[in-house]
């Protein structure tokens, strides 16, 4: 029945399409030139150049030992926030459980390094894989919950996991409230650490953005926009929701292992606390839900503001202020603050370029 | 052995009694307005801390402190609805995120003022001492809690079935548009519902915490965890389910502590075990309708 | 050509309410059948049961000989049944092209997309429903008639053998109705079996050669439009409801 239809359709469009990666690679120099001319291209390039240059701005010890690691931390959080944006912003699965992947990966990685003498990179990989595997175990009952139920469910799972590691005699088996300490750093040179995290962040963002633009991304968004409609279009929504969870788990897990190495220690409150999930949500929401790149903006904004608040002597109030920030952002600026600000700048840019 | 059995029965009933006040309000708000209020647990917790903070202020007039604490928490519930929840009602993501922000913010606020230490607020005990039965001591305040909780739940059942406001609430929960067409101000009903739920959580705090002590701002999310287990067990939106579920959770936890080897060390995992089992076997809960999921 | 849909003793109860009561019928491959009944008769519930959105309380549904009772919706779609909804739904934040692409990515849709490419398949469907010039626009700005066309397009993307259309004319202007009618006729001519609900009889009667009538969940009659329009029970069900009929 469909064969008549197919014959009517032209085969011309087998030509390589403009947006695909093949096209970009084939025509690399030209593509780059036209990309840089766009506002987002130029801005991204500008930010990337700044990020590359930052480690070399000073060789003073206070700068290298204190200031630079803050940027590294921002990038670790950017990866975490982007993992949440993929799950909630793109796939519509409201999750308060990023701390689950983050903590499990961090603990597993720490355990392997400290107690089993595994090399760092192997521990990172296994730690992340462990987090993904665990996400599968939780995901199967959890995905019977939809929307707000899933939100509460993931929150509750994360709190119980925290309690598991923190309280009761079971936690003794899991290193108790002190956790594991004495981990090595990712590298003795904080500049090298910075670049390792930087490259991971770039790869993460490229990967997530490409997923978002791909057919898989379209399916994710269809589940987000209308799950019943997606199911009625023949999509096995449960399978794709699990995939979304696992992908989110990969990146959150990587962030978790990096965080463990950044702090050279893991402990229940620091790695499994609700605060971790809160940070992911805050940063992604600040930057703009479903924008992915907004997560990076949100993360740097957060680290910057936190630094200022600490300098002003308000260290205790940091989380409270950010809680208020989240409330205000969700209430008044559901597209985030940073992306719309960028769009205003883009309009300015267009005006300046005389368009 | 007799002591353990009585302990099992008593602590089970006690847990069920105060959890049912919390879960009832939570399930009510969801059943009526499809609002998932993640800050509900913090109403319970904040009441305890307000009582603590006012204790030194009102030492001769503690009843004033109680009144003020309950009023403040109920008002916060109402304000949260008006300012935060109602504007975001179209998107379930928004409500959930903003109430999470509120819960987190209240937790941080309490953390700043009182830290993570435990505090006792037994000045607020309505009845002192304990009653002994078969050698087992039951704290009188807890007996009062159980009796009061059962009274409140029964009164609430009467209220929701017979009173005008109760009927309006049920109308809104069944079909908000139809209720509005019948002349009910659905918005105001939702406001009252949220305030009633905050009030119930606050009462639970007032009755339970003076005898149980404040164990830190994390009590907020902890009580939310128990409430979630209850509503999954009982069925979200089902008021009977919330009450029955609370007692089941209470008894299962109490049984674990008393009769299972090493029980106390993993009693805090009971909620999640119940949740996972229910999700795998019967996601709509004991009394829930399948459509709610 | 054989029986494509066989529904036997289908019953659905919601608490105390019996929405569908011992309902049975058969549809042959290639037919064009209407399902009528006043509002609340249970038509949408029947569709929900066939498409898997609800599970029947009792009874069975067989598609092309295969028992599909109680299967998950996406599995039923991938066996060859697609449906549209009474209340129009769309993927709000996706372009029209992407809206259609989702169906093209279903298992059945992929069988076609593999040969010609997903974007081409989706474009061709958009063209056939007359929306291709709005391919990059999200559904938010579309008029109601276009949204109904989009829904049909989304259903076509899964390459269905049986198409369930739930009140496809509801809320449309006369012109829009003509557009949809032509689209449905063309799909039927291409070999798709069409099962359509409506509660305004005039529209259906001129379109379909066979009508099944239901009222309060129960089967009344199955026959030609003339037979059904003159049936006493059908007339009683509609009298006083103000729905016009020829």
- What digits encode the pLDDT tens for the residues A116-160? 889 989 999 999 999 999 888 888 888 888 888 899 999 999 999
Cα distance between residue A125 and residue A102, in whole Å? 13
Name chain A's partners: 3 or more CB pairs within 8 A: B, C
Mutation site, A84, A148, A279, interface B, largest B CB count within 10 A: A148
A64 Cα to chain B: minimum distance (Å): 32
C-alpha closest to that of A248 among A85, A94, A124, A106: A85
Average pLDDT rounded to a whole number, residues A320-336? 89
* Chain segment A199-233, per-residue pLDDT in tens: 999 999 999 999 999 999 999 999 999 999 999 99
Residue A19 has pLDDT above 70, yes or no: no
Percent above pLDDT 70 for chain A: 90
Residue A2 has pLDDT above 70, yes or no: no
Q: Which two tokens stand for residue A342?
A: 């960028």
| pLDDT at residue A302 in the model | 93
**Average pLDDT across chain C, whole number:** 89
**Cα distances (angstroms) measured from residue B251 to each of A230, A286, B20, B234, C78:** 42, 44, 13, 14, 47
CB contact under 8 A, C93 and A2: no
Indicate left, alpha or beta for C171 from its phi (over 0: left) and psi (-120 to 50: alpha). Answer: left
Select the more confidently predicted residue: A170 or C221: C221
Q: Which two tokens stand for residue B124?
A: 């607020």
Residue A184 has pLDDT above 70, yes or no: yes
| 8 Å CB contact between B98 and B84 | yes
- Angle B270-281/B219-234 helices, nearest 10 degrees? 30
ipTM comes to 0.90
| pLDDT at residue C52 in the model | 93
> Is C1-80+161-246 CATH 3.40.50.300?
yes
Indicate left, alpha or beta for B91 from its phi (over 0: left) and psi (-120 to 50: alpha). Answer: beta
Select the more confidently predicted residue: C71 or A30: C71
CB contact under 8 A, C119 and A11: no
**Average pLDDT across chain A, whole number:** 85
Residues in chain A closer than 8 A to C119 (CB atoms)? 13, 17
Residues in chain B closer than 8 A to A153 (CB atoms)? 228, 275
Cα distance between residue A208 and residue C105, in whole Å? 20
Name chain C's partners: 3 or more CB pairs within 8 A: A
Which residues of chain B fall short of a pLDDT of 50?
Answer: 290-293
Residue A329 has pLDDT above 80, yes or no: yes
Residues in chain C closer than 8 A to A14 (CB atoms)? 117
| pLDDT at residue A15 in the model | 37
Q: Residue ranges of the domains in chain B?
A: 13-216
Cα distance between residue B231 and residue B275, in whole Å? 9
| pLDDT at residue A232 in the model | 94
Residue A335 has pLDDT above 80, yes or no: no
* Chain segment A229-280, per-residue pLDDT in tens: 999 999 999 999 999 999 999 999 999 999 999 999 999 999 999 999 999 9
Residue A17 has pLDDT above 60, yes or no: no
Residues in chain A closer than 8 A to B112 (CB atoms)? 316-317, 320
pLDDT bucket at A18, cuts 50 / 70 / 90: very low
User: What pTM, to 2 d.p., does this model score?
Assistant: 0.89
Average pLDDT rounded to a whole number, residues C92-119? 92
pLDDT bucket at A21, cuts 50 / 70 / 90: low
Residue A315 has pLDDT above 90, yes or no: no
| pLDDT at residue C1 in the model | 58
Residue A27 has pLDDT above 70, yes or no: no
| pLDDT at residue B235 in the model | 86
pLDDT bucket at A322, cuts 50 / 70 / 90: very high
Cα distance between residue B68 and residue B73, in whole Å? 9
Residues in chain C closer than 8 A to A8 (CB atoms)? 124
DSSP state for residue C71 in the 8-state scheme: -
Q: Which two tokens stand for residue A234?
A: 């023949």
Q: Is C87 exposed, middle or buried (0-12, 13-18, 19+ CB in 10 A)?
A: exposed
The torsion angles phi and psi of A72, rounded to 5 degrees, stand at -60, -45
3-class SS string, chain A: CCHHHHHHCCCHHHCCCCCCHHHHHHCHHHHHHHHHHCHHHHHHHHHHHHHHHHHHCCCCHHHHHHHHHHHHHHHHHHHHHHHHHHHHHHCCCCCCCHHHHHHHHHHHHHHHHHHHCCCHHHHHHHHHHHHHHHHHHHHHHHCCCCCHHHHHHHHHHHHHHHHHHHCCCHHHHCCCCCCEECCCCCCCCHHHHHHHHHHHHHHHHHHHHHHHHCHHHHHHHHHHHCHHHHHHCCCCHHHHHHHHHHHHHHHHHHHHHHHHHHHCEECHHHHHCHHHHHHHHHHHHHHCCCCCHHHHHHHHHHHHHHHHHHHCCCHHHHHHHHHHHHHHHHHHCCCCCHHHHHHHHHHHHHHHCCC
Residues in chain C closer than 8 A to A2 (CB atoms)? 112, 159
Q: Residue ranges of the domains in chain C?
A: 1-80+161-246, 88-160
Residues of A at the B interface, defined by Cβ within 8 angstroms: 88, 92, 94, 96, 141-142, 144-149, 151-153, 155-157, 159-160, 163-164, 167-170, 274, 278, 281, 285, 316-317, 319-320, 323-324, 326-327, 330-331, 334
Average pLDDT rounded to a whole number, residues C107-123? 91
Residue C153 has pLDDT above 60, yes or no: yes
The residues, ordered by sequence, that sit 6+ positions from B141 with a Cβ below 8 Å of its Cβ are B125, B126, B127, B128, B207, B210, B211
| pLDDT at residue A224 in the model | 93
Identity of the residue in A215, A221, A232 whose CB atom sits nearest the CB atom of C93 = A221
| pLDDT at residue B192 in the model | 95
CB contact under 8 A, C112 and A2: yes
| pLDDT at residue B177 in the model | 84
DSSP 3-state of C37:
coil
- The vertex-A232 CA angle with A231 and A237, nearest 5°, equals 5
- DSSP letters along chain B, please? -HHHHHHHHHHHHHHHHHHHHHHHHHHHHHHHH----TTHHHHHHHHHHHHHHHHTTSTT-HHHHHHHHHHHHHHHHHHIIIIIIGGGTT-HHHHHHHHHHHHHHHHHHHHHHHTT--B--GGG-SS-SEEEETTEEEEHHHHHHHHHHHHHHHHHHHHHHHSHHHHHHHHHHH-HHHHHHTT--HHHHHHHHHHHHHHHHHHHHHHHHHHH-B--TTHHHHHHHHHHHHHHHH-TT-HHHHHHHHHHHHHHHHHHHHHSTTHHHHGGGHHHHHHHHHHHH-TT-SS--GGG-
């Amino acid at each position: 029945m469909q064969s008549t239809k197919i014959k009517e359709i032209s085969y011309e469009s087998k030509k390589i399409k403009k947006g695909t990666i093949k096209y970009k690679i084939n025509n690399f120099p030209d593509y780059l030139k036209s990309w840089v001319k766009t506002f987002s291209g130029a801005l991204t390039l500008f930010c990337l150049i700044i990020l590359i240059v930052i480690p070399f701005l000073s060789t003073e010890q206070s700068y290298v030992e204190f200031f630079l690691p803050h940027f590294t931390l921002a990038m670790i959080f950017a990866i975490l926030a982007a993992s949440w944006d993929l799950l909630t912003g793109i796939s519509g699965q409201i999750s308060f459980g990023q701390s689950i992947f983050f903590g499990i990966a961090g603990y597993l990685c720490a355990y392997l390094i400290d107690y089993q003498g595994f090399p760092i990179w192997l521990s990172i990989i296994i730690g992340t894989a462990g987090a993904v595997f665990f996400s599968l175990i939780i995901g199967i009952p959890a995905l019977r919950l939809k929307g707000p139920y899933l939100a509460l469910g993931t929150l509750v799972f994360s709190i119980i996991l925290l309690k598991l590691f923190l309280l009761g005699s079971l936690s003794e088996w899991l290193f108790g409230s002190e956790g594991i300490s004495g981990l090595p750093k990712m590298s003795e040179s904080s500049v090298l650490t910075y670049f390792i995290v930087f490259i991971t962040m770039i790869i993460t963002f490229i990967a997530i953005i490409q997923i978002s633009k791909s057919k898989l991304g379209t399916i994710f968004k269809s589940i987000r926009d209308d799950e019943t409609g997606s199911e009625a279009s023949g999509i096995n929504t449960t399978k794709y929701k699990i995939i979304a969870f696992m992908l989110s788990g990969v990146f959150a897990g990587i962030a978790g292992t990096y965080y463990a190495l950044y702090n050279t220690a893991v402990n229940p409150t620091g790695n499994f606390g609700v605060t971790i999930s809160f940070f992911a949500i805050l940063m992604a929401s600040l930057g703009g839900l479903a924008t992915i790149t907004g997560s990076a903006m949100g993360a740097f904004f957060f680290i910057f503001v936190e630094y200022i608040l600490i300098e002003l002597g308000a260290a205790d109030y940091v989380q409270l202020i950010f809680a208020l920030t989240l409330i205000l952002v969700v209430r008044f600026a559901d597209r985030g603050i940073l992306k719309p600000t960028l769009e205003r700048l883009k309009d300015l840019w267009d005006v300046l370029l005389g368009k | 052995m007799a002591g353990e059995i009585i302990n099992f029965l008593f602590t089970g009933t006690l847990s069920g009694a105060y959890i049912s006040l919390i879960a009832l309000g939570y399930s009510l708000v969801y059943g009526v307005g499809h609002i998932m209020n993640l800050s509900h647990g913090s109403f319970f917790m904040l009441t305890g801390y307000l009582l603590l903070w006012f204790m030194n202020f009102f030492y001769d007039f503690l009843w004033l402190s109680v009144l003020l604490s309950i009023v403040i928490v109920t008002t916060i519930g109402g304000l949260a609805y008006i300012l935060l929840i109602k504007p975001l009602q179209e998107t379930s993501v928004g409500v959930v995120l903003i109430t999470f922000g509120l819960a987190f913010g209240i937790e941080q606020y309490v953390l700043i003022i009182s830290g993570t230490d435990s505090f006792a607020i037994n000045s607020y005990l309505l009845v002192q001492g304990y009653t002994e039965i078969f050698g087992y001591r039951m704290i009188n305040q807890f007996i009062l809690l159980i009796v009061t909780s059962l009274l409140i739940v029964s009164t609430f059942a009467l209220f929701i079935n017979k009173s005008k406001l109760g009927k309006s609430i049920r109308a809104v929960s069944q079909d908000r548009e139809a209720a509005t067409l019948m002349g009910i101000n659905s918005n105001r009903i939702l406001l009252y519902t949220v305030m009633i739920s905050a009030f119930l959580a606050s009462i639970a705090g007032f009755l339970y915490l003076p005898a149980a002590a404040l164990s830190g701002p994390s009590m907020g999310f902890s009580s939310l965890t128990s409430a979630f287990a209850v509503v999954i067990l009982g069925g979200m939106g089902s008021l009977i389910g919330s009450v029955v579920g609370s007692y089941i959770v209470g008894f299962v936890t109490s049984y674990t502590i008393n009769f299972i080897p090493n029980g106390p060390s993993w009693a805090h995992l009971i909620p999640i075990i119940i949740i996972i089992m229910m999700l795998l076997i019967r996601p709509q809960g004991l009394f829930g309708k399948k459509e709610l999921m | 050509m054989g029986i494509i849909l066989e529904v036997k003793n289908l019953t659905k109860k919601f608490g105390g309410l019996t929405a569908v009561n011992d309902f049975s019928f058969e549809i042959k491959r290639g037919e064009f059948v209407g399902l009528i009944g006043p509002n609340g008769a249970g038509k949408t519930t029947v569709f929900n049961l066939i498409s898997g959105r609800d599970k029947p309380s009792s009874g069975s549904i067989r598609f092309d000989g295969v028992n599909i009772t109680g299967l998950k919706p996406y599995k039923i779609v991938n066996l060859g049944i697609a449906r549209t909804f009474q209340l129009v739904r769309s993927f709000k934040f996706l372009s029209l092209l992407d809206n259609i692409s989702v169906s093209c990515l279903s298992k059945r849709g992929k069988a076609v997309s593999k040969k010609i490419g997903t974007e081409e398949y989706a474009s061709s469907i958009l063209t056939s429903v007359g929306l291709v010039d709005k391919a990059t626009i999200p559904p938010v700005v579309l008029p109601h008639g276009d949204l109904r066309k989009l829904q049909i397009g989304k259903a076509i993307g899964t390459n269905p053998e049986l198409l369930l259309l739930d009140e496809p004319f509801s809320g449309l202007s006369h012109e829009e109705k003509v557009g949809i009618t032509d689209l449905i006729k063309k799909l039927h001519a291409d070999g798709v079996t069409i099962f359509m609900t409506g509660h305004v009889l005039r529209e259906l009667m001129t379109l379909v050669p066979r009508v099944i009538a239901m009222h309060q969940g129960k089967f009344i009659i199955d026959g030609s439009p003339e037979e059904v329009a003159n049936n006493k029970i059908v007339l009683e069900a509609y009298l006083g409801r103000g729905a016009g009929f020829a």
